[in-house]
Amino acid sequence: MSISTEAGAPAGRAWKSKEEFLGCVILTDWILLFILFLVLLGSYHIHYMLLAGDWDFWIDFKDRRMWPTVAPIVAMCFAAAAQSFFWTRFRLPFGATVVVLALLVGEWINRYDNFWGWTFFPISLVFPSALIPMAFWLDVVLLLSGSWLVTALVGSMGWGLLFYPSNWPVLAQYHQAAEIDGVLLTLADLIGFNYVRTGTPEYIRMIERGTLRTFGKDVVPVAAFFSAFISMLVYFLWWKFGQWFARTDYVKQEDI
């Protein structure tokens, strides 16, 4: 016969019944998942903002050359690592979608709280890129193929090629031509000229320049295919990083 405490739980136990214990376990799992989501959100957000930076911040930086080249390559890093972790440890084919969703949650909080709330930049100037369709494609390829090698080739190719079309429905209206004081420019340029930002050398506006039109005057397809090719290489590298992070090491008893 066990001795009971005043709360009714058996002596030496923190729960009254098996159901209460299972409820505590489930609650702990949800708390850990929430913490994992916040960790993915913070780390991916810092990574993407440091490397994609202004091309994802400003509407007038979302051009046809630099933006579709840099943004997908940078975004692939954490997507591949998270996909590797969830697939290797749990056989769950939604790692890319989860981590991209975490990134977009962090970006929208940042845009409303910092860019709009503190500096009064309009959301039409600072809205983030759409990455969810690319993440869906990457996870679907892994789900159907079950092979990280096929995902690295087919999924990464689609990742780079889908970026510009996925963002075009929102971006198209800002690429409409306008003539202001005799100068031909886009609406995105007009918005950017009316909201002055930092002009130090590391933030000088780097957009579509160069001779990519030599390849048949179409800049976006060349940038998209180049981005898709580099995304394949990035996927291989960061899949291995995800495997390393997901590994389990055992220590022999005599080494303790």
- Higher-pLDDT residue of 74 and 60 is 74
Contact 60, 189 (CB under 8 A): yes
pLDDT band at 4 (very low <50, low <70, confident <90, very high): very low
Contact 147, 154 (CB under 8 A): no
How far apart, in Å, are the Cα atoms of 139 and each of 26, 97, 143, 164, 174?
27, 7, 6, 19, 31
Quote the tokens at residue 253: 């008893």
pLDDT per residue as tens digits for the range 26-71 = 999 999 999 999 999 999 999 999 998 888 888 888 888 889 999 9
Q: How confident is the model at residue 256, as a pLDDT?
A: 60
Percent of the chain topping pLDDT 90: 54
Give the separation between CA 141 and CA 79, rounded to whole angstroms. Answer: 13
- Helix (H), strand (E) at residue 110: helix 95-110
3-state SS, residue 156: helix
Residue 95 has pLDDT above 50, yes or no: yes
- Which has the closest alpha carbon to 70: 189, 227, 241, 238? 227
Q: What is the CATH number of the domain that holds 234?
A: 1.20.1450.10
The total of structural domains in the chain comes to 1
Q: Which domain does 151 fall in, by range?
A: 18-242
Quote the tokens at residue 27: 């609650």
pLDDT per residue as tens digits for the range 124-183 = 889 999 999 999 999 999 999 999 999 999 999 999 999 999 999 999 899 888 888 888
Structural domain contains residue 256? no
Structural domain contains residue 185? yes
Structural domain contains residue 141? yes
Q: Which of 113-127, 171-185, 190-204 has the lowest mean pLDDT?
A: 190-204
Residue 202 has pLDDT above 70, yes or no: no
Structural domain contains residue 253? no
Residue 16 has pLDDT above 80, yes or no: no
Give the separation between CA 186 and CA 178, rounded to whole angstroms. Answer: 6
Q: How confident is the model at residue 86, as a pLDDT?
A: 93
Return the number of other C-beta atoms located less than 10 Å from residue 93's C-beta. Answer: 20
Structural domain contains residue 221? yes
The label of the residue with tokens 């860019």 reads 115
- Which has the closest alpha carbon to 198: 38, 57, 42, 17? 57
pTM of the full predicted structure?
A: 0.83
Structural domain contains residue 8? no
Structural domain contains residue 247? no
Structural domain contains residue 65? yes
